[in-house]
Structures are given as C-alpha cells and as structure tokens.
Amino acid sequence: MVQDIMRDETFLSQKAEPATLEDLPVAQDLLDTLAAHKDGCVGMAANMIGVCKRIIVFDNEGKYMVMLNPEIIKKSGPYETEEDCLSLTGTRKASRWKSIKVQYQNEKFQIRFKTFTGWTAQIIQHEIDHCEGVLI
C-alpha cells in the first residue's frame, strides 16, 4: 500500500530498530510507495513512511531491491556530492564512498553480501543513513 511520506525531522533523526519477520509488510509498503514516486525518488527507508525499522528499498539498475538490516562492512573511494530527499526540502552536501560492500538480509531473512559501486552505492548509503537517523 502506498504510504504518506514522513517529513518530521525529529522522527527521521531516530535510529531504526532491527527488522523482524513481522516487518515484511513494511517492505512491501516501501516498494509500493517507491513505485508511486518513481519519477522523483530512487530509494526509500522505512522511516520515510513512519516506521522506525532497518528496511530499505532502492532502484538497483532498473529493478527494485529490498534489504533488511543492511550494514556497510567495507568502503572505498571517498567523495563529496549533493543529494536531495523526498522527506526533506532542498539539496544538501553529503560524503559518500564510490564502492561499498553491504551485509544484509533478504526477504527470507537469509544473510547476503554484495558489493555496489557508483550511483547504486550512493543510493544505498543515503538510505542506510536514514536507518542510522542521519539526515543529509
């Protein structure tokens, strides 16, 4: 179900709790909401729809991907950029990594590891920042 976008910076600044099996419907709501905003959004975290759980969804080179409890475990190639966010107004500066290795759980709660680079890596970093309560 498409959900309203959370814009309360106090709520968005909270660190998210780990996702559990009971949170799988939130992942579907995130996918539905991301699809509804596809013209201006490439990734979302659960707190963007008012749920303080470690769940992100993003456009992975044309196909949406869900990550539960994502953690960046390796990073390289720091750079500075500017980003915007559906939950926030304006464009803001951000520090990112060109390459990241992420440990996460898929929708069956199986642990997975994957390396991402470039634009996809930047999207994931932005969404993981949401999980950490970091606003760009």
Distances (CA, A) of 47 to 18, 29, 70, 90, 128: 12, 12, 14, 19, 11
The one catalytic residue in 17, 107, 127, 132 is 127
> Do the Cβ atoms of 60 and 31 come closer than 8 Å?
no
Q: Tell me, yes or no, if 127 is annotated catalytic.
A: yes
Residue entry with tokens 């659960």: 46
Instruction: Report which secondary-structure segment, H or E, holds 44.
Output: strand 43-45
Positions marked catalytic: 127
